[in-house]
Every structure is written in structure tokens, then in C-alpha cells.
Structure 1
Amino acid sequence: MTTPTLAHTRRASPLARSEARAGWLFISPWLVGFAIFTAGAMIFSLVLAFGRYDIVTNTVSVTGANNFRDLLADPKVATSLGNTLFYAVLAVPLEIVVALCLALLLSRAPRGGGFFRTLFYLPKMTPAVATAAMFFLLLNGNTGAINRALRAIGIQGPQWLVDPAWVKPSIVLMTLWAVSGTMVIFLAALHNVPHELYEASALDGAGGARTFFSITLPMISGALFFNVIVLTIAAFQIFDSAYLLFWRDNTNASPEASLFYAIYLFQKAFRQFDLGFAAAMAWVMFVVIMLVTLVQVRLGNRFVFYEGDQR
């Protein structure tokens, strides 16, 4: 058996360079798109955050940190951020629990599992406008189907779309309608749990709850960790469901409880054309999401089990 010589290494280097060039060529469309539509837009928005855009002359004048000072002085920014945080704290745990329960049910379906997976995933494919229109009818406080069902069992349903205390729960209900994307990730993780662990648990006489918390939950902790991060980021960016339910008519009659951060950003940018203020809002939210994600990663890595982990 011979060892590679320097000549062999040199003969192989042109092939390596050719493969590298081919790789860069294949990913070049993505790199160009990222540079123009993502990185370029972010850099321009950062410039806007420290300036004021004149839509008539199409020019940007530097104003320093005025936009950030105005942002801190605007009470609607604090209100919209508080509404967004409240929604995230309420929606993310419920989405995780509902998605995991559905995945557990589907993982135990002996027959017809494919049919039910398709059935449960259909709401995810429904357009957001159609979903909002459906929930606008379901959540009507007087004639909605949900309150009619509650009245049938002797419960007076709330004014979901009017009462400030029930505005955010109504949006959470609409969000749970499309929880099937998270469910699919959990279902894939559940199918990867070794059956030998369940067999050993049954031989040891462990009950269902002990098996779930000692085997199932640790083995799918990676998927759980991923879903928590993704759902938290999505919750901070909540826009379409709240906008379609409460702000599509662009009136002042919409309840303040439905004013989320992304909606107020949209209003400042495309209703009032204060693009500098909106860019400052966007960068503040970027920093908030980054900090929250870093905290989640730091805390989550202590509890996530990875295959082959010897901790």
C-alpha cells in the first residue's frame, strides 16, 4: 500500500478547484438573489433608519438617531410591541401542545394514517384570505357558529372580534387552525424514536405518562427545540391574520388590542409613508428577535438530546 505523494496531491488539486468552481456556479443564483433582495434591502433599510425618505424627490436625508427617539416617544410602538409579546407567550405554547397531541394521535393510527395526515394538513394549504373570511364568520359575537354552539350548551359566548380581552385569543384560534406544519415535524421526529426503547419501557412496567416524559419527549427534544424557535420568530412577525380580521378596511374602529408590531410598521411605511420610522421599527424588531433566539438557544441546548450525545 503506497502513501500519496506530493505529485499525487498536485494532480488532484485542479479537480478540487474545478469542483469548487462548479459548486459556486450552482449556488450563484441564490447568492445573487440574496445580495440584491435580502442583504441589499437590509443595508438600505439601515440607511433609512438613520434618515428620512422624501417620496417626492426620491432622496434620503440623514437625520441621525431621530427615528429611534421618535420610536421611543410613540405610545403606539409600546402598545403594539406589548400586544405582540402577549400573543407570542399565548400562541407558541398552545401551538406546540396542539401540534404534539395531533402528531401523537397520528403516530398511533394503525390504519388510514395517510388519509388523516392529509386531512389535518389541508388547513395549512388554505389561503390566508379564505381562512380569515371563514373565522370572521365563525367568531361573530351574535351570529357566529362558535357562539351558537356555546349557547346551545348554556354558555354565553364573548364578542370575539370586539371585546379587547378576546381579540388576541381569537387570533390564536385562527393560528391553531394551521398548526399542521408543526405537526408534521413532530410526526417525523416521533417515527424516528427507536421502538426498542418503548419495548424496554413496557418490560419495566412504565406507564404511559412515564414513557412519554422519559423516552418520547427527550428523543424528540431536537424537533421541539426547532419548533419553539421557529414559532416564536413567526409570532413576533404576526401580521396577515390580524390584518385580515381587523385592519383590512383601514379604519380607526379596529380594537387597539389587535394592533401588532408588524401592522403598525406597515401603517407607518405604506399608509403614512414614514419609511425612516418604519425602518427603525424593523431594526428594533430584528434585534429583539435575535436576542430572544439567542436566549432560547442558550437555554434550550441544556435540555436538547442529540443522537450520540454522551452527556
Structure 2
Amino acid sequence: MTTTAQSAGRATARPARSSRSRRRRNLVTLALLAPALLGLAIFFVYPLIASIYYSFTRFDLISPPQWIGLRNYEYLFTQDPNVWTATLNTLWFVVIWVPVKTGFALIVAGLLARARRASGVWRTIFYLPALVPPVASVVAFVFLFNPGTGPVNQVLAWFGIKGPLWFNDPAWSKPSLVLLGIWVMGDIMIIFLAALLDVPREQYEAASLDGASGVQKVRYVTLPSIAPVLLFAAVTGVIAAIQYFTEAAVASSVASGKAVVGEGIGSTLGYPDNSLLTYTQWLYVRGFGTYQLGYASALAVLLFVVAAIILLLLLRRFKAFTPEGAQ
């Protein structure tokens, strides 16, 4: 009888000790995660909630916020003269700039993965432009593509080709920034290169034995193997395009003859002819140029919602091409 009671007592104490140990582990885990959770709450959750609240107010950073309901959103969708221009320009960068830059980075990475001689030198050459500060790279490109004195048009003239106005032409200003994006593709190129070098050679050999062509090897071996890296490149590229600000602002400022971004912002904004006016530039101007923080918060909330929708669609689209999604 005593042995039975002792066994029952030990059986009862064991779950209690297990529960205390689990609580201790949870507390240790929370303590280790506390800095990250605190930073997330301070720098993401709170600003997001504050922006949503301010988007329903009239706020200029000086006077207390005044609740005005949906007026900011009504003005955004029906009356703002530049928001749709900025939105279309930003969408152009998402649809054109991201695929072109990603595609060229993947092609260059594929060529470097096949290189046999001086591969390290070529990798360094293609990666170095990514280390150039964005402002310096834009200023250099505006100088190189200057329609009057730039060396690019001078070289084209040697072949009897009349070069365009590049950053001074609304039709060529965004393609000029695409060329800049191709030049500084080294960051994503080096990631693609690591992914390509990590694809097992046995899979290519097996595909060759099955009679697969080069295109079929890329389609059925290379792309599925580097699908996570492609997803990473697409997501980060879309986020960068949606937030595209520095390069477009500096290009407009320098091409228009203003050496300082923000100097005479009314005349340089989106130069030429609003072709480089991006959504984040317009948000910045309404928030910190005219101090309409309530309306700028509405612009920011809309940007967050649209970016979240695009990224969710992108994630689902990529999942359809993975083996798990195919099943």
C-alpha cells in the first residue's frame, strides 16, 4: 500500500516538474527575444498604429491632431493632382525595373558560374558597383549620360547615332535609371552565383542522361533549385521599387541643374515633367514639405496595404512553382 502511494506521488510530481521546466524555458526564450520584440513594437507596431490614427486627422506637427474622418482618403482618391502620376511611375519601376535587374543579375551569375579562368576577377568587377553609394552612382550616371557633354552620346555620335536626352527626356528618364539598376546589380548577382554553385552536379548529369536540352535543364533543374533565392530577389526587389526614392530624387535634382536635393523642390520634383516623381517622393513632400502629416499618413497607410497585397500575391505565386505547391 505504501509502495503504491509513493508511486502515485512520484507520478504526480513528475508533470509538475515538467510544467515548471517548460515555464522556465519559455521565460528564457522570451528574455532572449525581448530586444527584438521590443524593437518590433517600438519601430513597427507603434508607428503603424500611429499612422493609421493620424490618417484620419488633420495634423501639422504643431497643432494637436483634429479628427476629420475619411477626408484625407477622399482627397487622395479623387482630388490629389499628382498621386496617380507618382503611383504609375512607381508601378513602372515594379513591373520593369525589378524583372530587368533580376534577370540581368541571374544571367551574369550564370556566366560567372561557368567561368573557368579569372572567375574571381570577373566576380569582383561585377560586384564593385554595388559598393558605390547611391547618390554618387546617380551623379556619375547623370554626368555620363549628359546629352550635351556626356561621353555616352559622344561615343554614339562616332557611329552616326544621335543620342537621346536621357535624364532630361521624360521618355528616357526611367529607362536611364533601369540602366543604373543593371550597373549596381552586384548585390543580388553574388547571391544568385552562390545559389547556382550550390546546385548539385548530379542533377545536371541525370538530366543529360535523360536527354534534356540546355533549356530543359534550366527549366527543370536550375530554376526549381534556386527558387527560394528567386523569391528572395523578387520580394526584396519589389520592396525596393515601392520605396524607390533616393535615385529618382537625386537624378531629378542633378539633371535639372540643382546640385542639392530639396533645393527648389517645387521645380526639381519629378523632373523632367513628373516622369521621375515616385510615390514615396510625393509622400515626403506632403508630409515634410507642406507639413500635412495627416494626409501623408494616409498615403503611407495606402502604400503599406498595397505592398502587403503585392507581396502576398508574389509569395503565393512562387509557392505554386515549388514541389510542395505542385502537390
TM-score scaled by length of structure 2: 0.86
| 1:25-50, Cα deviation, whole Å (9 max, x unpaired) | 12211222221122111111111100
| Kept in 2: contact 1:102–1:183 (CA 8 A) | yes
Aligned partner of 2:190 in structure 1 is 184
Aligned partner of 2:232 in structure 1 is 226
Aligned partner of 1:243 in structure 2 is 249
State yes or no: 1:265 paired with 2:270.
Answer: no
| Kept in 1: contact 2:320–2:326 (CA 8 A) | no
Greater displacement, 272-281 / 116-125: 116-125
CA 1:6 to 1:216, structure 2 compared with 1: closer, same or farther past 3 Å?
A: farther
Q: Distance in 2 between matches of 1:240 and 1:54?
A: 24
| Kept in 2: contact 1:87–1:235 (CA 8 A) | yes
Which of 55, 62, 66 is equivalent to 1:61? 66
| Kept in 2: contact 1:219–1:305 (CA 8 A) | no
Aligned partner letter, 1:33: G
Larger radius of gyration: 2
Aligned partner of 1:252 in structure 2 is 267
Percentage identity across paired residues of the two chains: 37
Greater displacement, 227-236 / 196-205: 196-205
Aligned partner letter, 1:299: R
Which of 127, 133, 143 is equivalent to 2:139? 133
Q: Distance in 2 between matches of 1:6 and 1:102?
A: 65
State yes or no: 1:288 paired with 2:294.
Answer: no
Correspondence 1:94-113 to 2 at 5 A: 94-113=100-119
Unaligned stretches of 5+ residues in structure 1: none
Aligned partner of 1:70 in structure 2 is 75
Q: Distance in 2 between matches of 1:47 and 1:303?
A: 39
Greater displacement, 204-213 / 126-135: 204-213
Aligned partner of 1:38 in structure 2 is 44
Aligned partner letter, 2:275: A
| 1:7-61, Cα deviation, whole Å (9 max, x unpaired) | 444334433332322221122112222211221111111111000113333x111
Aligned partner letter, 2:303: M
Greater displacement, 67-76 / 16-25: 16-25
Q: Distance in 1 between matches of 2:95 and 2:213?
A: 31
Q: Distance in 1 between matches of 2:117 and 2:143?
A: 35
Aligned partner of 2:157 in structure 1 is 151
Q: SS of the residue aligned with 1:140?
A: coil
Q: Distance in 2 between matches of 1:113 and 1:277?
A: 52
CA 1:13 to 1:159, structure 2 compared with 1: closer, same or farther past 3 Å?
A: same
| Kept in 2: contact 1:268–1:275 (CA 8 A) | yes
**1:265 Cα offset (Å):** 0.6
Q: Distance in 2 between matches of 1:127 and 1:27?
A: 33
Aligned partner of 1:170 in structure 2 is 176
Greater displacement, 181-190 / 94-103: 181-190
**1:227 Cα offset (Å):** 1.6
Aligned partner letter, 2:76: L
| Kept in 1: contact 2:102–2:233 (CA 8 A) | yes
**1:239 Cα offset (Å):** 0.5
Which of 205, 210, 217 is equivalent to 1:211? 217
Greater displacement, 262-271 / 119-128: 119-128
CA 1:242 to 1:310, structure 2 compared with 1: closer, same or farther past 3 Å?
A: closer
**1:160 Cα offset (Å):** 0.7
CA 1:33 to 1:12, structure 2 compared with 1: closer, same or farther past 3 Å?
A: same
CA 1:310 to 1:92, structure 2 compared with 1: closer, same or farther past 3 Å?
A: closer
CA RMSD of aligned residues (A): 2.1
Aligned partner of 1:301 in structure 2 is 319
Q: SS of the residue aligned with 1:164?
A: coil
**1:119 Cα offset (Å):** 3.2
Q: Distance in 2 between matches of 1:16 and 1:189?
A: 39
Aligned partner letter, 1:282: A
Q: Distance in 2 between matches of 1:148 and 1:15?
A: 75
Q: Distance in 2 between matches of 1:140 and 1:40?
A: 45
